[in-house]
Structure 1
Amino acid sequence: MASGGRRWLRGLWAVGQPLFQGRALLVTNTLGCGALMGAGGSMFAVGCSMGPFLHYWYLWLDHLLPASGLRGLPNVLRKVLIDQLVASPMLGVWYFLGLGCLEGQTLDESCQELRDKFWEFYKADWCVWPAAQLVNFLFVPSQFRVTYINGLTLGWDTYLSYLKYR
């Protein structure tokens, strides 16, 4: 990379670094979730509502099961399992009920859609997220965890949209 490009990246990092520290991290995580789901319209509101949950969820997991690198692999695997058994189903429910509400469905209609589609969602979730979370918990610094997940969510949201609207 040319030296001008490196200077530009260093400048960009210097400007963006405060967004991943302290109190600004919650705002960064919240708006990041919302913005990446924003292309779907009402998905923006659902994404923004998930941002604070994910922010505090990862803080709690890191506090509960501290892990660093490969030496922390047993705790990393526990985090992945807890994430899959607790957060993933909860976020799936959140997605279907939240979007249903924003799109004018009754609670009964949203719950029926959830019953119809949940197991398909959850099986696909197990195919994607354990590996993604393994990378997240092993290699991604804690302040970047939600941003990393947001990047992967671009593809995942395409699947969720397909599942919801087919």
Structure 2
Amino acid sequence: MLQKVGKRFLVRARFTWRSLFDDQFLLVTNTLTGGSLLAMGDVVQQSWEIHKEQSKVLDWKRIGYTFVMGCSTGPLLHHWYGRLDSAYAGRAMNTVVKKVLADQLIISPIIGIWYFIGMGLMEGDTLAEGWKDFKGKFWEYYKADCCVWPPVQMFNFYYVSPKYRVMYINVISLGWDVFLSYLKHRVSQPHRRLKRHFASRIVLLIV
């Protein structure tokens, strides 16, 4: 009896999983997974902040904002990968390299701008303040991006089926989402030339 129930559950779960990636539901799946995992990354980062400073509590508004930002990048990536696969069809190595370069040079900076300015606007910053924040952190963001994403995307474009591309990126990016949350909400340290531990003490005293 238990075996039959287990088999029925697995069949239903398999059917449900496949239906999530049907053409009519794929955009919704990509959108909601993007929002959920970006929010999860922020929860992880906030948990670390609370661990370091126990007077803090989870900022649910911030989590909500990251969910909105993740949902907004879902459709962007959904259509971007569709266009990229149409422009560069096949899995030849030179084709894969072209996709990785296009992804790195075009969509990565766009997502960075979208994230920093979008989060800033929702958190009460002006457009100019959001742009200034992005410019101040751009090279740190982009250098890390260039270290992480090219090998991830090589695997994506060579092995992963097109309908699973965004899901793959969303899952892999959970660690990256923690970094984004850290970078966006990091307290600026004006005394960067000082030794790290001494600078940290100054910042704590100021706060």
Aligned to 2:37: 36
Pick closer, same or farther for the CA change 1:15–1:92 going to 2, 3 Å.
Answer: same
Q: Aligned pair 1:146/2:169, yes or no?
A: no
Show the counterpart of 2:21.
20
Cα RMSD after superposing both structures: 1.8
**Which structure has more helix as a fraction of its residues?**
1
Q: Percent identity?
A: 48
- Residue 61 of structure 1 corresponds to which residue in structure 2? 84
Q: Match for 1:51 among 44, 68, 74?
A: 74
Q: Structure 2: which 5+ residue stretches go unaligned?
A: 41-62, 187-207
Q: Which ranges of 4 or more aligned residues in structure 1 deviate by more than 2 Å? A: 2-11, 38-41
One-letter amino acid of the structure 2 residue matched with residue 65 of structure 1? Y
User: How many Å separate the matches in 1 of 2:153 and 2:144?
Assistant: 14
The 5-angstrom pairing of residues 125-136 of structure 1 reads 125-136=145-156
Displacement of 1:153:
1.5
Q: CA deviation at 1:11?
A: 3.5
Displacement, 1:21?
Answer: 1.3
Q: Tell me the TM-score normalised to structure 1 length.
A: 0.91
Aligned length: 162
Shift of 1:149: 0.3
Spell out, residue by residue over 1:48-72, the C-alpha distance to the aligned partner (whole angstroms, 9 max, x if none): 111111000000000000123xxx1
Query: What runs of 5+ residues in structure 1 fail to find an aligned partner?
Result: none
Partner deviation per Cα, 1:31-80 (whole Å, 9 max, x = no partner): 11111122332111111111111000000000000123xxx111011000
Whole-Å separation in 2 of the counterparts to 1:74 and 1:4: 48
Match of 2:51 in 1: none
Question: Any idea what SS the aligned residue of 1:23 has?
Answer: helix
For residues 7 and 76 of structure 1, what CA distance do their matches in structure 2 show? 40
TM-score (ref. length: structure 2): 0.74
